[in-house]
Amino acid sequence: MRKPVEKSLGRFLLISLLILPNITYGLGQPGEGFLDYTIEVSFDIQASKIEGVATIPVKKGQEITLDKGELNLLYIMLDKEPQDITVQKGILRILSSREGMLHIGFEGVFKELSPGFPGEQPPSVISGRGIFLTGTWYPKPRQMCRYHLTATLPDGYEAVSEAETIKKTVNDGKPAFVFDFPHPLDSISLIATHRYKIVKDRFGRVEIFAYFFPEDLDLVKTYIEHAKHYLELYDHLIGSFPYKRFSIVENFLPTGYSMPTYTLLGQVVVRLPFIPETSLGHEILHQWFGNLVYIDYAKGNWAEGLTTFLADHLYQEEKGQGVEYRKGMLINYQSYVNEKNEFPLREFIGRTDEASEAIGYGKALMVFRMLKRMVGEERFSEAIRYFVDQNRYRKASWEDIRRAFEKFYQKDLGWFFSQWIDGKGLPDLHLVEVKVKPSGAKFEVSFTVIQKGRVFILDLPVAVYSHLGKATNVFHLQGEKEQLKMVVDDVPDRISVDEDYDVARMLSIDEFPPVIARLIGDEKRIIVLPPSGAEVYEQVVDGLKGERTSLSEPERIKYIEPGTSSLLILGADNPVVAKLYGSVIVRGGFGVLMKENPWNRWKVVGIFNARSKEEVEAAFQKIFHYGKYSAVSFDHGVNVYKEIDQSTRGITEELLGKAVAVEISTLKTLPDVMAYGASKKIIYVGEKHYLFPDHVMELEIIKDLHKRGRPIAIGMEMFQRPFQKVLDDYIGGKIDEAEFLKGTEYFKRWGFDYHLYRPILLYARSENIPVIALNIPQEVVDKVSRSGLDSLSEEERKWVPSQMDFSDEAYKERLKKVFQEHRDVENFKTSNFDFFYQAQILWDETMAESVDQFLRTHPQDQMVVLAGSGHLAYGSGIPKRTARRNGYDYTTILNNADLEKGIADVVLFPGAIPGVTSPMLMVFLREEAGKVEIAGFPQESASEKAGMKVGDTLLAIDHTPIRTIDDVKIDLLARKKGEKVRVRVLRKGFLGSREVNFDVVLP
């Protein structure tokens, strides 16, 4: 019953659905005796007043307990004798002195709150719009009753209550309705208005009525058709419809109730197009679960789970959407339920908030699904039919369900029910130690499933995919750690655990997309205010600030800090957005975009953006009903966009990589590639820095483009931004190569043999093609590697681009592998991966920003970007970051890269071309205070053989004076192997220093 009709209604609606007037505890079963209770009522609509008499036959010594609520009791008489009564806290106790008829006169006032009320509408209302009475609108016995209700109403009114028959008579000249329901009930309700139009139809022996308002009459046909469909469906599934009549009643209040013999849907609800296909069926199924078989609330509400399973979930299954639906339920559970608000299913009574809904509806439907998979489809249906049959007009509990299933399953199910109904939480499964090995002509996939926290007994489906298909198996788990294996025919490429969401379980992080529910459900939030215009978001702040929420100014958010909280960022132009994601687009007058927190994927970041305060006010409350989405947008309160981020299906792990095939007949050459690539605004070319052929390809591409006549520029990773002027001077012919290399500090800052890049720079200079320094100063990246972005001084921070996107998870994973592989081998500047990652992103973002800045000032130009393949592969390093800034089209060409899907547009395999390298002096040099000193010799050193010694200071090579190591490298650059040079050194001796000359043949 009382199902929150759908999540796209106003929030006020959900609140009104929380009221559970029928709940009473500790009632005896009807078999133990129930009251025969007659009520006669009449109304003064203008005064919102009800007047009535309740009549109950009693025996001598019988005690009756009644809730009086807000009612005014006029008299209590046994036959004609006034009775002594005690009233305590609204509870009335009557002990009858003898057998007779008890008469209670009562009156009550039930005013409607004015529209746009803040707060909850009371459960009962008598107003000019109509009469809706539920809860304590008559002295309500705390036990089940067989009710006989007669309501005298003003002219023109039509009324519905729980009734197998409704008789219309006349009482004092006014229409009176006599309702008869021949079974005991906890309580009854009454709805009446003067505006009902009644449409009658029939399904078999069941009369169907629609009580609709005149303006909604055109909806009646759809509702009745759907109602017939559901009656037929459940007739089959559960057993015949329990009553002679069934009414679909429109309410002037926003409700979604199901009472025995009728469902009461608010006008707002009735008009929603999806209700006939979803909630109507759910409410009709409650005619069996809740209305025919009552809920023993004191022992837990099983009815919502069972109804949701056989209504909402079944309809989704029929549409082929069962997997998504179940996964959505688990996403909700994990978003809203936490250690503090989690409770066992046994304690679910009704929905009070998102967490209780995730348990009482979501977890419960998963439990019924697991039960069905375990006992089998046929026995499940038999057990459900038996359960209904055995518990007609009786309060049933989870134990009754267990007994029904045990009867057909012929096995004890105590463990199942105590595990899922009495225990809190869901299993938390982890897939580890996944290995593949050949097994004869087949393959064996072995893996371990670990359960963290409470250990569950469960059946776990596992699928192993290969290019020829998939193999599946179901494993019976009962331990904390289970080692499992599957033998498959073909090369396995992926394993997926519970990919259909057959098990109620916690999701792995890859299955758990960033959705609005996660932000709503995470109490620990930081709300980041916009730099200005915070008043626009007032309602957002009020609506989402909780006890554990803090407010922050954008400049107080550090790079790593947000990892411990979820963030709610106000304004898409908030500097914190630029700091984490570069830039984002949030559509609509009011929109929410959810992202993973790049520093902790279990936390989320919600970016809220609004055009105006009015847009916020029109839409903000609605986001609570869009919890399953990662992005939503509204214009003037109307939803215009919604989307859920991709996530994996099942707990998955990649196994053996798929073999990649290249069709040889389609192999191309560089000119083919350029015929297509030359039209792009940006051409990225990736290299392995030390491979000469890669650089030959780069030059070929530059030449090809240049010959096409469009202005081009060359962007190079190898030069750092502060040295742009030196590059310009060299290209412009103002300085020579030696000055250029010294001026850019090439050997210190890049260091690879300059011969690798020399042909490119020479060509650029001869053709006057601008060369753009893309890179950030090395000192800044080094510092970030060591101690993170937050450690930079204000002076250093000016090199940090304002836009930084840390959200490329796949890139992060690849960098993590690089980090782990190289950490021990190479001299990494950090052992902290977060800092290493920050440094990488800083590097990439700077280069992307450099490309963008050049193209902004040179809109006609094309750009060839030369960088290490790592900065270009999959577009992750530079290309996507440039595209985020300017959207220009680009192509990526990598040299000698792995052939992997998406790695680049083209991979070139250049032929072996012998490169030029500089000859060497074969000395280790140390530079200090303007002097270059020999610090040592490698083995077989020509210089050592010539007579030079450690501690000698180099003065000149031939006629080139040597003051820096750069001088040595630049001099050697122009020389050839086998050439003889004269090296002049200053040698220290006992009698002072002296100059000595040595002739060296350069190896």
Residues in contact with Zn ion by the rule CB under 5 A? 3, 304, 307
Count of CB atoms situated within 10 Å of the CB of 638: 12
| Structure token digits, residue 427 | 């299993």
CA distance 578 to 557: 12
Between residues 250 and 304, which has the closer beta carbon with respect to Zn ion? 304
- In 3-state terms, what secondary structure has residue 522? coil
Between 3 and 595, name the residue whose CB sits nearer to Zn ion: 3
- Closest approach of Zn ion to the CB of residue 353, in Å: 16
Min CB(302)–Zn ion separation in Å: 11
What gap in Å lies between CA 81 and CA 62, rounded to an integer?
16
Tokens of 266: 């608010």
| Residue nearer to Zn ion on the CB measure, 279 or 892 | 279
CB of 137 to Zn ion, least distance (A): 23
Q: Helices 833-857 & 879-886, crossing angle to 10 degrees?
A: 50
Question: Quick check: 134 and 21 in contact, CB under 8 A?
Answer: yes
Closest to Zn ion by CB, 282 or 695: 282
Of 270 and 726, which has the nearer Cβ to Zn ion? 270
Name the minimum Å distance from CB 170 to Zn ion: 38
3-state secondary structure 13-71: HHHHCCCCCCCCCCCCCHHHCCEEEEEEEEEECCCCEEEEEEEEEECCCCEEEEECCCC
Smallest distance from the beta carbon of 682 to Zn ion, in angstroms? 57
CB of 145 to Zn ion, least distance (A): 24
Closest approach of Zn ion to the CB of residue 282, in Å: 5
How distant, in Å, are the alpha carbons of 420, 430, 434, 476 from that of 482?
21, 11, 12, 10
- In the bound state with Zn ion, the residue whose beta carbon lies nearer, of 3 and 885, is 3
| Shorter beta-carbon distance to Zn ion: residue 3 or 525 | 3
- Backbone angles phi and psi of 509, in degrees to 5: -60, -30
Round to whole Å and give the CA distance between 658 and 46: 77
Nearest to 435 by CA among 659, 650, 654: 654
Q: In terms of CB distance, is 226 or 871 closer to Zn ion?
A: 226
Q: Which residues, 6 or more positions from 29, have their beta carbon under 8 angstroms from its beta carbon?
A: 394, 395
Considering the complex, what minimum distance in angstroms separates the CB of residue 289 from Zn ion? 8
- Expressed in percent and rounded to 5, the helix, strand and coil fractions of the chain are 35, 30, 35
Helix axes 364-375, 322-336, angle to 10 degrees: 130
In the bound state with Zn ion, the residue whose beta carbon lies nearer, of 209 and 257, is 257
Q: What are phi and psi of 671, to 5 degrees?
A: -60, -35
Distance between the two ends of the chain, CA-based, in angstroms?
91
Q: How far is the CB of 354 from Zn ion (least distance, A)?
A: 16
Q: Are 85 and 33 in contact (CB under 8 A)?
A: no
Under 8 Å between Cβ of 241 and 235: yes
Q: Please check whether residue 428 is in contact with residue 505, taking contact to mean a CB–CB distance below 8 angstroms.
A: yes
Tell me how many degrees the CA angle 968-974-980 measures, rounded to the nearest 5: 80
Closest CA to 628 of 329, 841, 262, 879: 329
CB of 320 to Zn ion, least distance (A): 24
Minimum distance from residue 349 beta carbon to Zn ion (Å) = 13
Instruction: Name the residue among 873, 885, 867, 866 with its Cα closest to residue 813.
Output: 873
How far apart are the C-alpha atoms of 119 and 137, rounded to whole Å?
Answer: 20
Residue among 291 and 775 whose Cβ is closer to Zn ion = 291
- The least distance separating Zn ion from the CB of residue 136, rounded to whole angstroms, comes to 22
Closest distance of CB 294 from Zn ion, Å: 14
Token output for 126: 């008598």
By beta-carbon proximity to Zn ion, the closer residue of 238 and 866 is 238
Nearer to Zn ion, 307 or 597 (CB): 307
State which residue, 299 or 765, has the beta carbon closest to Zn ion. Answer: 299
Q: Which is nearer to Zn ion, 291 or 307 (CB)?
A: 307
Minimum distance from residue 164 beta carbon to Zn ion (Å): 22
Least distance to Zn ion, CB of residue 256, Å: 8
In whole angstroms, how close is the CB of 351 to Zn ion at the nearest point? 9
Work out how close the CB of 283 gets to Zn ion at its nearest, in angstroms, rounded to a whole number: 7
CB of 248 to Zn ion, least distance (A): 16
Unique residue bearing structure tokens 């000359």: 997
Q: Which helix (H) or strand (E) holds 259?
A: strand 256-259
Spatial separation of the C-alpha atoms in residues 1 and 877, rounded to whole Å: 54
Kindly tell me which of 157 and 387 has the beta carbon lying closer to Zn ion.
387
What is the rounded distance in angstroms from the CA atom of residue 42 to the CA atom of residue 500? 56
Backbone phi and psi for residue 357, each to the nearest 5 degrees, phi listed first = -65, -40
What is 564-618 written as a DSSP string?
Answer: GSEEEEE-TT-HHHHHHHS-----SSEEEEEEEETTEEEEEEEEEEES-HHHHHH
Cα–Cα distance between 610 and 187 in angstroms, integer?
47
Q: For residue 77, what is the DSSP state?
A: E
User: Which residue's Cβ lies closest to Zn ion?
Assistant: 3
Q: How far apart are CA 232 and CA 205, in angstroms?
A: 12
Q: Which is nearer to Zn ion, 248 or 619 (CB)?
A: 248
Query: By C-alpha distance, which of 269, 255, 266, 257 is closest to 8?
Result: 269
With respect to Zn ion, which residue has the nearer C-beta, 3 or 518? 3
Comparing CB distances to Zn ion, the nearer of 281 and 514 is 281
